[in-house]
Amino acid sequence: MAACTVYSTCSVSSPTTTKTHFNFIFHNPRTTTTRNNKNRAAQISCSVTEPQTVVIGLAADSGCGKSTFMRRLTSVFGGAAEPPKGGNPDSNTLISDTTTVICLDDYHSLDRTGRKEKGVTALDPRANDFDLMYEQVKAIKNGVAVEKPIYNHVTGLLDPPELIQPPKILVVEGLHPMYDPRVRELLDFSIYLDISNEVKFAWKIQRDMAERGHSLESIKASIESRKPDFDAYIDPQKQYADAVIEVLPTQLIPGDNEGKVLRVRLIMKEGVKYFSPVYLFDEGSTISWIPCGRKLTCSYPGIKFFYGPDSYYSNEVSVLEMDGQFDRLDELIYVESHLSNLSTKFYGEVTQQMLKHADFPGSSNGTGLFQTIVGLKIRDLYEQIIAEKASAPLEAAKV
């Protein structure tokens, strides 16, 4: 077994002690011998009972804003994410003080040539190793380091593995974080970025044509060839997500097909442990709000918010919607002051985060706003889980 650091609850028995519970850090999750507080040798048998790494799933198709979301999330924790130091320069992993983001493309079981030979896309479950994905996410969640494979997007080959140490928060992002029920079960919170076809097309053109030199025809062909597998294997995962960020064309400009102004909906599942949905004005009511006027500058076509209860794949949800875009990001504070349950640590934290990353895609519309809010909710969820675990041994000791 790989060397690792495991935090767990242990029972101690020695000639002078009866059973005591305490938190202990050890480097091999079996049985070890140490000294108790009276400096006597004590046999300690430990079982890994409490998962230590909080696991977040982020699902979306390629080019739908996962990397941008990850940069916003990492920033909420106050750090920048970087690839593993001294490792494979084509690694897909990003590490910060609090978070490690692994890309599930690393569990492709077929490389680019293999997929071509077999006539399957990367979205097809047959091109992915879900057994290994499950084993490794479970191990990390339980505090055990793993040797994770690397899928090299530059060469299209499977490279030698890299060591992933258990972080405080593990984010598994990619095409299939909620596809396999065993992996899904390991997620403490899950998010789906649901980008409508029209918007996905506009973003792809912007990136792949402007930045990567692809032709319009090849972009269209790539989207079309992925669509059947996207519909079969990726899209259905949204029914399992705790939060969905849905990105649609605006309704403020009749017949708009430019994809520049967006209608963005944050769909939040009710009754999820450690997650209380954000609301506008009054929780549970239905509200339509045009904030433009004296306190918020809006040029054409303006901004419209909506909030209300709804049902999504038979689940009770709350929906917060923003159509339009901000002219002046500093005025976002006006909107922020009307939202509740934001899990901010101080007044104006959402606005501050948005201003900090004003150059990220989507900063002037609901994509940036809702990604920032979900980032704050994940921080809050993490802090609640950690606080609960910290108090668990004390409660057990009292008993």
Ligand X SMILES: O=C(CO)[C@H](O)[C@H](O)COP(=O)(O)O
Residues that bind ligand X (CB under 6 A): 62, 105, 112, 122, 153, 156, 175
Distances (CA, A) of 131 to 109, 150, 206: 11, 16, 36
Amino acid at 81: A
Between residue 284 and residue 343, which ones bind ligand ATP under the rule CB under 6 A? none
Residue nearest to ligand ATP (CB): 362
Amino acid at 30: R
Question: Among 242, 245, 246, which residue's Cα sits nearest to residue 270?
Answer: 242
Q: Toward ligand X, which CB reaches closer, 124 or 283?
A: 124
Q: Toward ligand X, which CB reaches closer, 108 or 377?
A: 108
Phi-psi bin for 289: left (phi > 0), alpha (psi -120 to 50), beta?
A: beta
What does 265 bind: ligand X, ligand ATP, none (CB cut-off 5 to 8 Å by kind)? none
Shortest Å distance, C-beta 75 to ligand X? 22
Using CA atoms, how far apart are residues 256 and 336, in angstroms rounded to an integer?
Answer: 28
Strand intervals (E) in the chain: 6-13, 21-26, 31-35, 41-47, 54-59, 94-95, 99-103, 146-151, 158-164, 169-174, 189-195, 243-249, 262-269, 279-280, 287-289, 303-312, 315-324, 339-340
- Work out which of 60, 137, 234, 378 binds ligand ATP, going by CB under 6 A: 60
Asked if 150 and 108 count as a contact pair (C-beta separation under 8 A), the reply is no
Based on the shown chain and the rule CB under 6 A, indicate whether residue 122 belongs to the binding site for ligand ATP.
no
Using CA atoms, how far apart are residues 355 and 348, in angstroms rounded to an integer?
Answer: 11
Between residue 365 and residue 394, which ones bind ligand ATP under the rule CB under 6 A? 367
Q: Toward ligand X, which CB reaches closer, 226 or 356?
A: 226
Based on the shown chain and the rule CB under 6 A, indicate whether residue 83 belongs to the binding site for ligand ATP.
no
Based on the shown chain and the rule CB under 6 A, indicate whether residue 222 belongs to the binding site for ligand ATP.
no
What does 112 bind: ligand ATP, ligand X, none (CB cut-off 5 to 8 Å by kind)? ligand X
- Work out which of 63, 114, 125, 308 binds ligand ATP, going by CB under 6 A: 63
- Work out which of 51, 65, 277, 324 binds ligand ATP, going by CB under 6 A: 65
Q: Toward ligand X, which CB reaches closer, 62 or 315?
A: 62
What does 168 bind: ligand X, ligand ATP, none (CB cut-off 5 to 8 Å by kind)? none
Q: Toward ligand ATP, which CB reaches closer, 149 or 362?
A: 362
Tell me the per-residue interface mask from 186 to 205 with ligand ATP, x by CB under 6 A, - otherwise.
-----------------x--
The bridge status of strand 243-249 relative to strand 262-269 is antiparallel
The residues that bridge with 306 in the sheet, in sequence order, are: 288, 321
Shortest Å distance, C-beta 367 to ligand ATP? 3
- Residues in the chain, how many? 399
Q: Toward ligand X, which CB reaches closer, 112 or 168?
A: 112
Q: Toward ligand ATP, which CB reaches closer, 9 or 67?
A: 67
- Work out which of 44, 66, 278, 351 binds ligand ATP, going by CB under 6 A: 66
What does 67 bind: ligand ATP, ligand X, none (CB cut-off 5 to 8 Å by kind)? ligand ATP
Shortest Å distance, C-beta 128 to ligand ATP? 15
Using CA atoms, how far apart are residues 355 and 72, in angstroms rounded to an integer?
Answer: 11
Using CA atoms, how far apart are residues 8 and 13, in angstroms rounded to an integer?
Answer: 16
Helices within the chain (DSSP H only): 66-76, 112-118, 130-141, 181-186, 197-204, 216-229, 332-336, 349-356, 366-398
Asked if 138 and 186 count as a contact pair (C-beta separation under 8 A), the reply is yes
What does 367 bind: ligand ATP, ligand X, none (CB cut-off 5 to 8 Å by kind)? ligand ATP
* Omega within 30 of 0 (cis) for the link into 83: no
Q: 354: which 2 tokens? A: 């948005």
CB neighbours of residue 276 within 10 Å: 17
Based on the shown chain and the rule CB under 6 A, indicate whether residue 206 belongs to the binding site for ligand ATP.
yes
Based on the shown chain and the rule CB under 6 A, indicate whether residue 177 belongs to the binding site for ligand ATP.
no
Between helix 197-204 and helix 216-229 the angle, nearest 10°, is 140
- Work out which of 11, 36, 67, 88 binds ligand ATP, going by CB under 6 A: 67
Shortest Å distance, C-beta 63 to ligand ATP? 4
Q: Which residues bind ligand ATP (CB under 6 A)?
A: 60, 62-68, 203, 206-207, 361-362, 367
